[in-house]
A and B are shown apart, each in its own frame.
Chain A
């Protein structure tokens, strides 16, 4: 019978502080393909596991620029080019009156980019993920903190990684089947 390959080894911790310390030690030990899971955002944890490039602000900036430009150009084209209509003698291209919709469109596009950009960069929606195979992982959305070393890490070896994680004094250790 073919044995399922292992997705990674997961250690469970009791507190946010223990997880941050463990993540720091694991990254120091040379592991790079690791991840940490917590029931709430912990400041500095992402940096400890080597995550430094957050692209969300750039996505939002681009979304906002596209929204603002399309808002303004839409009004210009509709009012001055495609359907010029004399309203109380105002110029066709009455830019001050166009500012408000330009502003609203900037916010709309930037906001939509923030939400959908964040989801896309996170690879969500993803209803199934191997970490959910560990029964204790259900506590990651309540009060437990988890650290995983993926089996794709170059330094990974089943026994060595396990004993390394054991040295971090976790509450429990489990293998994550993929």
Chain B
């Protein structure tokens, strides 16, 4: 009994870095993945599949540009369909990266140092996938620049009272700040690669990308100030992005959209799905590249706890939505609730509750929180559940609103599926390239975690 208690206590306090590492070994181990490790057949097969899926996406988009939005399942009343479902899903996944890199930095959660780099890369690639959808959904993608306030010969300007305009600014700011944050984090590590590589061409490439970083104390001081301020700016930004995305719905009058709980519930859902994606990437990566020393059980457990907490907030959102439908006295809201539970899309709604609310409760069990295989499966379930949530919000609210004469059904076509699965391929292809070309763990931030880094005045 006491033996068991002791071992589980040790498990709880798993270290952020396994003992025995020095500045040199940390540097060697992470930079070797990029500089000396040969690309394996497994990498080529994985990248090849992801690349083919990307090509499939480009084919589907090409056909869309040729024929128009009619090849999709969208119609009236459901004019938003897969494009908006996937947009919200992808942008939500990106949120975990910023949470890890900015909010956990401000909260001094130093365990974040080993996962922030690839979580930020995940954010960038997820935002890129998200950006595809509104762009092609406008119908005439070659005119999408009309969304920006550019002077034009028609003498018109965008309409700033619309949440869709707010979304343009929120998402493009988010993409820019995420890219900058990721890049300045890379500068010192690119300098390390420049100094470690033997290859003259790589020396020049990494040297240029590192801007000639030399680690001067004055530079580090300004660097840390800028990094901290950027984290402070990214924190309200990331919370605002999914809030603004939820305004796209909440500002409308459609029953099932017009609720004030949407902003916090969307942000929590975003972090929920984002951490699920972080785990789905981290678990195979640490295994394949032998990074268990740096991405330890502690990271898996902490991520699982974040998922549990945000999952409960999301569950609270579902509960309040149902309660307001029943208690609010608005017959259309009440009908939306009924329609979710018993309507034509009842099966996805119940699956959503099972995936997002019921199955993740097993994370209360400590044993499962520290089992990579179990976490991988649960994360996959959560990603499916969060995708279904967006499907329910977008499709089921639109398909039956106020007038029975305007009810309709939505069936995605093969082009919808090809575009969606294609963006998953694009995301994975970018991740495959990232792990081979750039240090996927922040080397300089790992050095600061070692006991030798501490200095007495």
Interface residues, chain A, CB within 8 Å of chain B? 15-17, 20, 23, 35-46, 48-49, 51, 54-57, 60, 74-75, 78-79, 82-83, 85, 87, 90, 94, 97-98, 100-101, 103-105, 107-108, 110-112, 114-115, 117-119, 121-122, 124-129, 131-132, 137-143
Q: Which residue of A lies closest to B215 (CB)?
A: A37
Residues of A within 8 A of B452 (CB): 15-16
**Judging by beta carbons under 8 Å apart, are B230 and A115 in contact?**
yes
**Chain A nearest CB: distance from B241 CB in Å?**
9
Contact present for B160 and A122 (CB under 8 Å): no
B187-208 interface code vs A (CB 8 A; 1 in, 0 out)? 0100110111000000000011
**A40 and B218 within 8 A (CB):** no
The answer on a CB contact under 8 Å between B184 and A118 is yes
16 A-B residue pairs with CB within 8 Å: A16-B452, A23-B217, A37-B216, A38-B220, A51-B218, A54-B221, A60-B233, A100-B166, A104-B169, A107-B177, A114-B233, A115-B180, A117-B226, A124-B219, A126-B211, A138-B196
Verify B195–A142 contact, CB threshold 8 A: yes
Contact string against A for B residues 220-240, beta-carbon threshold 8 Å, 1 for contact and 0 otherwise:
111111100110011011001
Determine the distance from Cα of A125 to Cα of B237 in the docked complex, in whole angstroms: 28
Give the distance to chain B from A7, nearest Cβ to Cβ, in Å. Answer: 13
> Contacts A44-B455, A75-B160 known; A129 to B218 CB distance under 8 Å?
no
Question: Which secondary structure dominates where chain A touches chain B?
Answer: helix
Q: How many A-B residue pairs have CB under 8 A?
A: 207
Instruction: Point out the residue from B194, B195, B216, B447 that lies within 8 Å of A35, measured CB to CB.
Output: B216
Q: Give, as a whole number of angstroms, the nearest-CB distance from A153 to chain B.
A: 15
Most B CB atoms within 10 A — which of A16, A55, A87, A98?
A16
Give Cα distance in the complex from A142 to B226, angstroms. Answer: 23
B212 touches A141 (CB 8 A): no
When C-beta atoms are compared, the residue in chain B nearest to A15 turns out to be B452
Please report B residues at the A interface, Cβ cutoff 8 Å.
22-24, 27, 149, 155-161, 165-166, 169-170, 173, 176-177, 180-181, 183-184, 188, 191-192, 194-196, 207-208, 211-226, 229-230, 233-234, 236-237, 240, 244, 247, 444-445, 447-448, 452-457
Q: Which residue of A lies closest to B446 (CB)?
A: A40
Q: Is the CB of B173 within 8 A of A107?
A: yes
- Specify which of B165, B214, B222 is in contact with A132 (CB 8 Å cutoff): B214
Contact A39 B159 (CB under 8 A): no
Given the known interface contacts A35-B217, A51-B217, A118-B223, the answer about A141 and B236 at a Cβ–Cβ threshold of 8 Å is: no
Q: Is the CB of B444 within 8 A of A40?
A: yes
Known: A39-B215, A79-B157, A140-B214. 8 other contacts (CB 8 A): A37-B216, A46-B220, A48-B217, A78-B157, A114-B229, A117-B226, A124-B219, A142-B196
Cα–Cα distance between A42 and B226 once the two chains are bound (Å): 15
Give the residues in chain B near A127, CB-CB below 8 Å. Answer: 207-208, 211-212
- A111 to B192 CA separation, bound complex (whole angstroms): 25
Task: List chain B residues, Cβ under 8 A from A97.
Answer: 160-161
Contact B159 A143 (CB under 8 A): no
B149 CB contacts on chain A under 8 angstroms: 74, 78
Q: With a CB–CB cut-off of 8 A, which chain A residues contact B214? A: 37, 129, 131-132, 137, 140
* Docked CA distance A74–B448 (Å): 44
Which residue of A has the minimal Cβ distance to B189?
A141
The answer to whether residues A16 and B211 also contact, given A36-B217, A54-B222, A100-B166 and a CB cut-off of 8 A, is: no
Of B212, B226, B453, the residue contacting A115 (CB under 8 A) is: B226
Main secondary structure of the interface of B (DSSP, over half): helix
- Whether the pair B455, A16 counts as a contact (CB closer than 8 A) is yes
User: How many angstroms from the CA of A87 to the CA of B164 in the assembled complex?
Assistant: 15
Q: A16-B453, A39-B447 are in contact. Are A78 and B229 (CB under 8 A)?
A: no
Complex contact A98–B160 (CB within 8 A): yes
Chain B positions within 8 Å of A112 at CB level = 176, 180
* Nearest B residue to A139, CB-CB: B195
CB distance from B197 to the nearest CB of A (A): 10
Contact B212 A125 (CB under 8 A): yes
Residues of B within 8 A of A115 (CB): 180, 183-184, 226, 230
Is A107 in contact with B233, judged by CB distance below 8 angstroms?
Answer: yes
- Asked if B217 and A107 make an inter-chain contact with CB atoms under 8 angstroms apart, the answer reads no
Q: A11 → chain B, closest Cβ, in Å?
A: 14
Q: Which residues of B contact A79 (CB under 8 A)?
A: 157, 159-161
Out of B212, B230, B236, B448, name the residue touching A41 (CB < 8 Å).
B448
